[in-house]
Amino acid sequence: MVEQWKSRSGFILATIGAAVGLGNIWRFAYVAGENGGGVFLMTYLFFVALIGLPLVIAELSIGRRGASDTVTAFEVAGGSTRWRLIGWIMVGGALLILSYYSVIAGWAVRYFVGALSGDLWQDAGEKYGAYFEGFISNDFEPLFWQALILIVSGVVVAGGIQKGIERLNLVLMPLLGLIVLGLAVFSLTLPGSGAGVRFLLAPDWSAFGRPSLYLAALGQAFFSLGLGMAVFVTYGGYLSASTRIPGAAATVAAGDTVFAIVAGLAIFPAVFALGGDPAAGPRLAFVVFPQILLQLPGGTFIGPIFFFLLSAAALTSMISLLEVAVACASHRMGLARNRGSWAIVAIVLALGVPSALSYGMLAEVKLLGQPILDNIDQAVSNFVLPLSGLLVAVLVGWRIERLRTLADADFGDTWLGAVWLWSIRTLAPITIAVILLRSLGVV
Ligand code: TRP
């Protein structure tokens, strides 16, 4: 018998912790900025409600029925060993995401420490660009901070479901919620912040004509929810039969979305109030934002809080990705949790070296004109995640018998269940397939 969550709220907070991460703060702000602000937000909300949420429910129900690791869960759900392959693809994908996600998480930790010690504020004015580039192009530093946050994640996962993952999230997630709310209130009270709110919420209808909008919005929905890498399959494996899946999944999807919007309201109004460039890519969090903080009264006090938020949000997501692999190592390969955790941390660190060095020693190694880290991010978000989502939809919607699949997801034979199944069988696979083919340049 595998371990289970101690309480429903512990499960929900841990799952929101998995969903809320760099995707909500660092990625949402810049993808929205690059894709027309308000129009991006509307497209994003549409995808989350009609495709993201149904897939969260599908992953959780596969997981709970398997009551084990991802590979076992797919085997049970698919009714034959062939379906194991999907499980292994997802575990591999989780390791791949972790390999570069931990690099950016490491940057956030480095900035947290720098903001606390005051080191970050010394290079004032226009020089922040140089500060950032100097750090990420260092041959050793990014690797050090990446290893540090990976080790912290390893300690938590080695602690187990209740004593490690659940306990940390019970404390950290409410705290992060308060922090992001406080930052948004502060940012919205700055003179001139209205332009930032308009940028995030006001629709520029012409952006709907751009196909890249849909790829970006679906990719962001998958990444931000944390779909397609078996995080929900794994966390669902520790879920008791008494928790209703649809309500829990809706809470998680809503929590993730609200968090992204509030984080956007913490970042954009401040950026606009002080005349920063909103579509600055990753530099938005690491260059534009520190610059802005320095111009604000109390900014050097807010700095550490912002980078703590970024680091801690990344940590709870890394833990979920790590758990996907650790659960497999312990159930399928018989490794004890402790040993399994450190073995996986070592593998991720090895896999992550090229990403950590991709703006430094390996900056010359470029694919499609981009550094290694950006390539992995785009390949995973725009291709592997949607593909895994498609496979989950086919399994849950078509392979498992209708009444069984409805019962596994706690819907029963209800109209809500029919709507869910319609999305899983038709809307989600077709939308994902069209967007995948588009991104491959086929249609
Ligand atoms: N959802 C997290 C974020 O927004 C990252 C993440 C965790 C993730 N688990 C995932 C992304 C699984 C894709 C798949 O930052």
Of 56-70, 144-158, 164-178, 366-380, the range with the lowest mean pLDDT is 366-380
Q: Would the CB of 108 count as within 6 Å of ligand 1?
A: no
Which pLDDT belongs to residue 51?
A: 96
**178: exposed, middle or buried (C-beta count within 10 Å: 0-12, 13-18, 19+)?**
exposed
Q: Would the CB of 186 count as within 6 Å of ligand 1?
A: no
Whether the predicted pLDDT of 36 surpasses 90: no
Which pLDDT belongs to residue 280?
A: 66
Domain assignment of residue 3, yes or no: no
Domain assignment of residue 169, yes or no: yes
Confidence of residue 121 (pLDDT cuts 50, 70, 90): confident
Q: How far is the CA of 29 from the centre of ligand 1 (A)?
A: 15
Residue nearest (by alpha carbon) to ligand 1 atom 6: 226
Q: How far, CA to CA in Å, does 48 sit from each of 15, 350, 355?
A: 16, 34, 29
Give the domain extent around 323. Answer: 8-439
Spatial neighbors of 260 by CB under 8 A, at least 6 apart, are 23, 24, 25, 28, 224
Burial 38-62 (b: 16+ CB within 10 A, else e): bbbbbbbeebbbbbbbbbbbbbbbb
Q: Would the CB of 341 count as within 6 Å of ligand 1?
A: no
Which pLDDT belongs to residue 251?
A: 98
Domain assignment of residue 99, yes or no: yes
Which pLDDT belongs to residue 355?
A: 82
- Chain segment 272-322, per-residue pLDDT in tens: 888 877 766 777 888 888 888 888 888 889 999 999 999 999 999 999 999
- Chain segment 183-212, per-residue pLDDT in tens: 999 999 999 999 999 888 888 788 888 888
Domain assignment of residue 328, yes or no: yes
Q: How far is the CA of 414 from the centre of ligand 1 (A)?
A: 31
Q: How far is the CA of 19 from the centre of ligand 1 (A)?
A: 6
Which pLDDT belongs to residue 124?
A: 56
- Chain segment 328-343, per-residue pLDDT in tens: 999 999 999 999 999 9
Residue to mutate (ligand 1; options 173, 222, 320; most atoms within 8 A of CB): 320
Domains in the chain: how many in total? 1
Whether the predicted pLDDT of 125 surpasses 70: no
Share of the chain above pLDDT 90, in %: 69
Q: How far is the CA of 149 from the centre of ligand 1 (A)?
A: 16
Residue to mutate (ligand 1; options 223, 318, 387; most atoms within 8 A of CB): 223
What does pLDDT average to over the chain? 91
CATH code (residue 105): 1.10.4160
Cβ atoms within 10 Å, residue 413: 10
Q: Would the CB of 320 count as within 6 Å of ligand 1?
A: yes
Residues 354-368, mean pLDDT to the nearest whole number? 78
Which pLDDT belongs to residue 351?
A: 93
- What is the rounded CA–CA span in Å between residue 167 and residue 161? 8
Which pLDDT belongs to residue 148?
A: 98
Residue nearest (by alpha carbon) to ligand 1 atom 8: 226
Burial 238-253 (b: 16+ CB within 10 A, else e): bbeeebebbebbebbb
- For ligand 1, what atom is nearest to the CA of residue 19? 1
SS (H, E, C) 204-265: CHHHHHCHHHHHHHHHHHHHHHCCCCCHHHHHHCCCCCCCCHHHHHHHHHHHHHHHHHHHHH
Domain assignment of residue 1, yes or no: no
Q: How far is the CA of 198 from the centre of ligand 1 (A)?
A: 27
- Chain segment 131-143, per-residue pLDDT in tens: 888 888 888 899 9
Q: How far is the CA of 122 from the centre of ligand 1 (A)?
A: 33
Which pLDDT belongs to residue 290?
A: 85
Which pLDDT belongs to residue 107?
A: 94
Q: How far is the CA of 12 from the centre of ligand 1 (A)?
A: 15
Whether the predicted pLDDT of 416 surpasses 60: yes
- What is the rounded CA–CA span in Å between residue 281 and residue 269? 17
- Chain segment 253-273, per-residue pLDDT in tens: 999 999 999 999 999 999 888
Whether the predicted pLDDT of 392 surpasses 70: yes
Residues 21-36, mean pLDDT to the nearest whole number? 86
Instruction: Give the residue with greater pLDDT, 136 vs 112.
Output: 112
Q: How far is the CA of 226 from the centre of ligand 1 (A)?
A: 4
Cβ atoms within 10 Å, residue 416: 11
Domain assignment of residue 2, yes or no: no
Which pLDDT belongs to residue 443?
A: 65
Per-residue DSSP letter, 6: S
Of 14-18, 383-387, 418-422, the range with the lowest mean pLDDT is 383-387
Whether the predicted pLDDT of 402 surpasses 70: yes
Domain assignment of residue 209, yes or no: yes
